[in-house]
Structure 1
Amino acid sequence: MTAASRTVRHFHHLAAADRARLFLTEPGEIRVDGDRELLATALGATLYIPADRPGLADTVLRRSAEGMTSVVLDLEDAVRESGIEEATRNAVGALDELAGAGDPCTALVFLRARGMGCIPRIVELMSATAADALTGLVIPKFDGRTAEAWLAQTADAAAALGKHLYVMPVLESERILYRETRDAELETLSTVLAEHRESVLAVRVGATDMCGALGIRRDRDHTIYDVRVVADVLADIVNRLGRRDGTGFVVTAPVWEYFADHERMFRPFLRATPFVEHRAVRFRDQLVSRDLDGLLREISLDRVNGMLGKTVIHPNHVAPVHALSVVTAEEYRDACAIVGADAGGVLRSDYRNKMNEARPHAIWARQVLRRAEVFGVANDGVTFVDLLVALAGLG
């Protein structure tokens, strides 16, 4: 299968009967060479895997079969300095295996570069076959001083490999963290990225590096939005680079770092009532014991703050990101009503619990319909609990 003919489809791994029970409208097939914003929305939970891991291709194929839709083979923070050449060869070899696999990989695969010499070395090692499996490059510590050079290297790599390569810059430098340089940095990045718009799939943010520069590490009892100094940076990034007026990009949310149980200082984030109603109290306890209640809370706040998708470092985090990305029946019907109200005005929701204002809510409604195309629309009465239970194989 060539890269141009590939598609991505969420929840493909669920049985047909489960999809029929859960979805009013099932997720669609999103073409890799199709609409850029649709493909960016389809990233969902992007799993980072160290590029030096043995059996890398098998790991990607297994996770893809389990519902992962995007993966980054990480040559940067996850690999020690002395192991870069070996890890680069390992990652390129994995791409070659993925391209020739009898059971094709259904996930988007990216390489995270490390240093300016990394991309040319990748191109030297890569065959045309391996290139078919590569969707693009992730550029760490992307800032205004190096942006043009990174984007030029990506364009040169695409020309050398004879294919389109997407780029996902990671904003995590001190220039964007510090208040006195942030506005100028965002203005520079906005200008540069706009000039390369068709190559920029999404803008990623690295909250861990930003916290690290200030000697901060959030614990399991807090979301990144509780770390106000970093939350302010995320708000400014979305404000400048996430605009929905044709000048912005999809901005993805930062990583949740935890996946093991610990002694709690505060109550769990998850209310018990939805799980009682769905007879899934024990499942809720499992989520809480693995710190996934904090992740679910942060995913909800990601959406409210204008971000789509999320960087993840553990396979257990993929299902929560995807489950909370599904459009509810209520969201969908409200969005359809708003989009259909050509004359503007105020409409009472069919659910009799809110007013829908056609003009102020129009951009929101169009984004909901785009998300519905990618993640599907849940049946009436189906909640994130039902989706999580099904994705955990407990349904």
Structure 2
Amino acid sequence: MRHFDHLSQDVRDELFSLAPGEFDRTSGRTVLANALGATLYIPGVRTDLVKAITKRAADGVRSVVIDLEDAVADDQVDGAVVNAIDAITELSDADQQTLLFVRVRTPEHIRDVIAGIGDSSSALNGFVLPKFSASTGARFLGEILAASDRVGTRLFAMPVLETPDVLYRESRTEALSAIRDLLGQYREMVLAVRFGATDLCGLYGIRRDRDLSIYHVGVVAELIAEVVNHLGRADGTGYTITGPVWEYFAGHERMFRPQLRATPFESRHAKSFRHQLVTNDVDGLIREIVLDRANGLTGKTVIHPSHVAAVHALSVVPHEEFSDASDILGSAEAGVRASGYRNKMNEMRPHRRWAERIRDRAAVFGVANPDISHVEILTALLDG
């Protein structure tokens, strides 16, 4: 599978100087973690799961989570488990074009899903683990390890941080340190760490407005920084950490000015396209994606298909960034020299880990042509 394969070859040739690379379930953990992109959650209660997943795959979604937890009422969980089993079984007989995960409620659900799918496991890539903590996580991770042995293939874990012990200041450091120690015992199994932003905000009775990003919610923004500090280090001990969900997908009456500058759109004769993005609140999502990356996060949880294009468009590496990263990685010496674009200085030693991350993202999302911006990529995705 590959990102942007749903676009025509002519469009891809116009957009990319380095095409997105292929990946599959046997690809390396770093490749797959970057390839997650916009991870779309679909409620397990849907009886048309196969149709929904197949349709979204055709539209460019490359990672899907069948949700058995928050999206499912307590009295519908058993039926949702059956739906998930049936969907995985049917998709395992098809040419699957998405990475597929199940968000379970309990460790026992992992066992139930594996028992239900039997030998039809080729579509399943792992499990999302809610309310993850050091006290509950060991059972979840142990079940995934046993499940991998049972099906004879690698299954990944994606723990979700959303409990009081990681959010409350008096317990946070101890809780995150314990989680770091636990995950370290299962390092090769952990694909990414995710945030449950809605649950975290709910602990304080907060729901952020669509005019604001999650980084305006101080208690959650503080936690994001702490999680990156504990679990996102680029020294070989860290993990991919994904951006939290953006929960809005329709327009509203605005109190503040739009968050997209007009100039980049005007210079590309795309004023009406900017108006469309602003009207549908996509400008807020785009702003949050940029802030995610600035804070060390990769990819994003999404609950609506309309969000996927923005996440994927901004995941494409700009030609200038790739040029800088290549210069840095191509030098074995320390020191400083001007960027090939003549607008900044590249420091070979402190910028090296940044450059490695740019290279890894480019391997799955590609590199834009020199005259292509995120405006053209987003336009192509929404028009396509």
Using the size of structure 2 for normalisation, the TM-score is 0.98
Q: Secondary structure at the match of 2:101?
A: strand
Comparing 239-248 with 120-129, greater Cα deviation is found at 120-129
Please point out which of 200, 203, 213 is paired with 2:190.
Answer: 200
Task: Tell me how far apart the structure 1 counterparts of residues 331 and 116 of structure 2 sit (CA, whole Å).
Answer: 54
Counterpart in the other structure of 1:51: 44
Counterpart amino acid of residue 7 in structure 2: L
Report sequence identity in percent: 52
2:115 maps to 1:124: yes
Tell me, in whole angstroms, the C-alpha distance in 1 between the residues paired with 2:362 and 2:122. 28
- Superposed, 1:87-236 pairs within 5 Å as 87-101=80-94, 104-129=95-120, 131-236=121-226
CA contact (8 A) 1:41 1:374 kept: yes
Q: Which moved more, 1:154-163 or 1:319-328?
A: 154-163
CA distance in 1, matches of 2:365, 2:325: 15
Amino acid at match of 2:228: V
TM-score (norm: length of structure 1): 0.96
For 1:349-388, list aligned pairs within 5 A.
349-388=339-378
Q: How far apart are 1:123 and its partner, in Å?
A: 2.2
Distance across 1 between alignment mates of 2:89 and 2:117 = 8
Q: Deviations over 1:165-214 (max 9, x none)?
A: 10100011111000011101111111110110111111111111110001
Partner SS, residue 383 of structure 2: coil
Instruction: Quote the Cα distance in structure 1 between the aligned partners of 2:356 and 2:135.
Output: 35
Over the residues paired in the alignment, what is the CA RMSD in angstroms? Answer: 1.0
Residue deviations 1:287-336 (CA, integer Å, cap 9, x gap): 11111000000000000000000000000100100100111110011111
How far apart are 1:105 and its partner, in Å?
2.2
Aligned 1:19-58 pairs, distance under 5 A: 19-58=12-51
User: Match for 1:281 among 245, 254, 271?
Assistant: 271
Q: Does 1:68 align with 2:58?
A: no
Distance 2:211 2:13 in 1: 36
SS at match of 2:39: strand
Q: Supply the distance in 2 between the matched residues of 1:256 and 1:72 (Cα, whole angstroms).
A: 16
SS state at 2:177 partner: helix
AA matched with 1:127: G
Tell me how far apart the structure 2 counterparts of residues 284 and 215 of structure 1 sit (CA, whole Å): 33
Gaps of 5+ in 1: 1-7
Give secondary structure in 1 for the equivalent of 2:92.
Answer: helix
Q: 2:337 & 2:28 partners in 1: Cα distance?
A: 31
- Structure 2: any 5+ residue segments left out of the alignment? none
**What is the CA distance between 1:279 and its match in structure 2?**
1.2
Instruction: Report the alpha carbon displacement of residue 162 of structure 1 after superposing the two structures with TM.
Output: 2.5
Matching residue of 1:301: 291
Whole-angstrom distance in 2 between the partners of 1:105 and 1:123: 18
Asked if 1:316 corresponds to 2:306, the answer is: yes
Q: 1:222-281 CA distances to partner (integer Å, 9 max, x unpaired)?
A: 000011111000000011100111101000010000000100000010111111111111
Residue 5 of structure 1 is matched in structure 2 by: none
Deviations 1:62-87 (A, max 9, x none): 10011001000000000111111111
Task: Report what 1:3 is aligned to.
Answer: none
How many residues of Structure 1 are paired with residues of Structure 2 in the alignment? Answer: 384
Preserved contact between residue 106 and residue 140 of structure 2 (Cα < 8 Å):
no
- In structure 2, the partner of 1:82 is 75
Kindly state the Cα deviation for residue 286 of structure 1 after the two structures are TM-superposed: 1.1
For residues 115 and 324 of structure 2, the distance between their equivalents in structure 1, rounded to whole angstroms, comes to: 51
* Equivalent pair of 1:51/1:87 in contact (CA under 8 Å): yes
Mapped partners of 2:88, 2:334: distance in 1: 50
